Amino acid sequence: MTATPGDHTVLIVDDDPRLVRLVREVLTAAHFQVLSRTGGEPAIEAAAVERPDLILLDIMLKDLDGYQVCRRVREFSDVPIIMLTAKVNEKDLLAGFDAGADDYITKPFSSKELLARVRAVLKRARSEAPSGDEATIVCGDVRIDLARRRVSLGDRPVYLTATEYSLLHALAVHRDQVLLHEQLLTEVWGPEYTGDMDYLRSYVHHLRRKLERDPANPECIVTVQGVGYMLTTPAAPPFGGGT
C-alpha cells in the first residue's frame, strides 16, 4: 500500500521561527504532519522518541551544528535527512554526506522546491528493490544485495543513505551500461535535477570513497568522460576512469 503525505511526519530543526512557521505552513497545507525543534539536542531526542519519516535539519544551530546532529541520529536511525543551508559547495556536500545526509536545500527556497525535495527523498527511502535470481550483484569486492537493500565491501557492511543507495541501485540494475548524466539525475532525484551536474559528481565521488579501494582510480563505478557513469562487473572490463 502506497503511503500518502498525511501518513508522513516531518521534523523541522531550525532556530529561525519565521522559517519554521513558513515550512510548517507549506507542509501542513500538503497534508504532512509536522514537528519542530529549535536545537540539536532536542532534535536528537525527538528523532528517537517521535520517529519522524523525514528530518529537515538546519546546519547552523546554537548548541550543535547540523552535521553533529546528523551523525548522532545516524547512530540509531536511517530516517531520511535533508540539510538546510544558506549556501552549498562541494565541501559542504561532502561534509553532509559524511555525516549521513540524504539531500540539501539551499536557502532561500520556494514552496514548490521544498515539496519536490521532500517528496523525492521520501520516495527514494521507500523504493522497493527487485528480487529473484538477479537480486545480488558483485563488482570486485563490492556486493549489492538488491532484495535486502544491503551493501558490503568484502566482509564489512557499508552504510549508505537512501539517496546513495538509490544512485548505486540505478547503476546496478543497469550494470555494464553507460547511464547518461541526465538519465541518472532524473531517475534518482527527479526531472527538476537534470541540470545539477555538480550535484551528481559530488554524490559519485562520495559513493566511491565508500566503495572503491582507490577512489581516485575507480574499478567499480567508472566515468565515461562527457557522457555519464557505469557500474562494471568482472565479465565486462571497465573503461573510462575517475571524475
**143/78 Cα distance (integer angstroms):** 20
Helical pair 66-74 and 90-99, crossing angle rounded to 10 deg: 30
Q: Which CATH number do you get for residue 168?
A: 1.10.10.10
* Residue 131 confidence (pLDDT) above 70: no
**Same-domain check for residues 112 and 193:** no
**Same-domain check for residues 60 and 171:** no
* Residue 10 confidence (pLDDT) above 60: yes
**Same-domain check for residues 140 and 76:** no
Tell me the H-state helices in 36-128: 40-50, 66-74, 90-99, 111-126
pLDDT for the residue 50: 94
Q: How far apart are the first and last CA of the chain?
A: 40
- 33-80 confidence digits (pLDDT tens): 999 999 999 999 999 999 999 999 999 888 889 999 999 998 888 899
Query: Mean of the pLDDT values across residues 237-243?
Result: 47
Give me the domain span that covers residue 20: 5-126
56-65, 121-130, 160-169: range with lowest mean pLDDT: 121-130
Mean pLDDT of the chain: 85
pLDDT for the residue 93: 75
Q: Does a structural domain hold residue 207?
A: yes
Residues 6+ apart with CB under 8 A from 61: 13, 14, 15, 38, 39, 40, 43, 69
* 206 grid coordinates: 562520495
**Same-domain check for residues 17 and 117:** yes
What band does 89 get if pLDDT is binned at 50, 70 and 90?
A: confident
**Same-domain check for residues 107 and 43:** yes
Domain count of the chain? Answer: 2
pLDDT for the residue 134: 54
**11/51 Cα distance (integer angstroms):** 9
Provide the residue type at 29 as one letter. A
Asked if residues 184 and 228 have their Cβ atoms less than 8 Å apart, the reply is yes
Cross-strand pairs, 137: 144
Q: Which residue has the cell 541501485?
A: 169
Q: Which residue has the cell 540524504?
A: 102
- 196-228 confidence digits (pLDDT tens): 888 888 889 989 999 998 888 998 999 988 889
What band does 100 get if pLDDT is binned at 50, 70 and 90?
A: confident
What band does 132 get if pLDDT is binned at 50, 70 and 90?
A: very low
pLDDT for the residue 196: 80
Q: Single out the residue in 83, 100, 126 at which a domain terminates.
A: 126
Asked if residues 111 and 92 have their Cβ atoms less than 8 Å apart, the reply is no
Q: What is the pTM of this model?
A: 0.66
Q: 60-73 burial string, b = 16+ CB within 10 Å, else e?
A: ebeebbbbbbbebb
**Same-domain check for residues 100 and 18:** yes
